[in-house]
Amino acid sequence: MLLAGFCICAAQAHADALRPAIATPLAAAERDLSAREFSAALHQVAKAAAVPGQSGFETLTIDQVRAAIDAARQDYPAAAADYAALINTGQLPANQVHLMAEAEASSDYQAGNYAGTIATVKTYLTGEPQFTTLLLQSYLKLGQCDALAEAVGRVGSPPPENDLQMVAYCDANAKNTAGYTQAISQLVADYPSPAYWSQLLGLEQANPDFADTLALDFFRLKLAAGVAVTEPEVMEMTQAALQAGLPNEAASIINAGYAAGVLGSGPDADRQTRLKALVAKRQAAPAPAATDQATLFDVGFNEVDGGNAAGLALMANAIRSGQLTQPGPAELELGIAYHEAGQQANAKAMWHAVQGGGGPAELAGLWLDLK
């Protein structure tokens, strides 16, 4: 209606430049529009448009009044066409072209002509926050996820959280797993939360590159990111830590399960109690005497889990020995140990250096996103 008022006022301001055959029906159209008699108003516009020999200004004024009527009656396709016609006359000053472009983009969006909205915004309204939002929503409506992601990347650094959520939603609907993973990864990096971490880790764990041997490392990241865990996960990972020769970590895991209320009740409470007792027994046992580097690495990790940072040297020496059959996972875990010891700079350096690609390197990259 603001645009309608603008168009009518423009017609009135130049009424002295209109011939009576045109000015008279346009004045009647204004009265009909004010009374919301849209059909009568359009009839009067048609009478004015039928007058032969129109000047450019007369045609422009008629088009403005028609646009005002179509906007007021919420005929969005017609209004969008009216505004496009006004822009294409080449007779409007720059500020009015801008106003008509805003009206055209909005009308096209209301009409469901999202491609038209995109074209108008990109041509006339680039960088304007309100119409950037309309542009992004139009890409979403059309399912143009790549174009949406590219546009979101131009919005700012970091992009707004809502915009990244829009990209993730688009890719999820399009069943584009790679795009969805990228969007959730960026949400984790820029707006970390347990909910985003949970989504990302679920996606990554389904990746064939992540072997079962990395399950404990995944679980460690879940705990570090604050992601809720289940009773079966706590029980399984407690046992996995015991099997890896890490009773101190097993104790941390099962104690966290009790503290969170995941353990301690229900039909498996007795089994949980027995496992906790086994963990305590393994903790009390002396560290295994060993000279092979793989065992020394685990002994060092267990020391760090128990709060003794001296274990870091054992782990680092085992990696430097060149005797470990899987250096990539070992480097990942040394980074985790540095993280547990509060040595964040060393942790990040180690995760950046993880060898071999695949699952360990991917998981190291996720640890680097941890805030």
pLDDT tens, 326-347?
899 999 999 999 999 999 999 9
pTM of the model: 0.81
pLDDT class of 209 with cuts at 50, 70, 90: low
* Rounded percentage of the chain residues whose pLDDT exceeds 70: 95
Is the same domain home to 64 and 150?
no
Is the same domain home to 57 and 31?
yes
pLDDT at residue number 1: 36
173 belongs to a structural domain: yes
CA dihedral 358, 359, 365, 369 (to 10 degrees): 150
Is the same domain home to 11 and 109?
yes
One-letter-per-residue 3-state SS of 93-146: CHHHHHHHHHHHHHHHHHHCCHHHHHHHHHHHCCCCHHHHHHHHHHHHHHCCHH
| pLDDT exceeds cutoff 80 at 9 | no
The helices-and-strands tally (H runs, E runs) of the chain is 21, 0
Is the same domain home to 8 and 95?
yes
pLDDT at residue number 210: 73
* CATH code, 77: 1.25.40
Is the same domain home to 87 and 157?
no
Is the same domain home to 45 and 150?
no
Nearest alpha carbon to residue 240 among 273, 213, 201, 274:
213
Is the same domain home to 173 and 58?
no
Q: pLDDT, tens digit, for every residue of 273-294?
A: 999 999 999 999 998 887 899 9
Is the same domain home to 64 and 151?
no
Query: What is the number of domains present in the chain?
Result: 2
Is the same domain home to 67 and 180?
no
Indicate the angle between helix axes 145-155 and 161-173, nearest 10 degrees. Answer: 170
User: Which domain, by its residues, includes 120?
Assistant: 2-142
pLDDT at residue number 357: 74
Is the same domain home to 128 and 159?
no
Q: pLDDT, tens digit, for every residue of 50-66?
A: 999 998 889 899 999 99
CB 332 within 8 A of CB 217: yes
Is the same domain home to 23 and 107?
yes
Q: pLDDT, tens digit, for every residue of 172-196?
A: 999 999 999 999 999 999 999 999 9
Q: pLDDT, tens digit, for every residue of 75-119?
A: 999 999 999 999 998 888 999 999 999 999 999 999 999 999 999
Is the same domain home to 136 and 159?
no
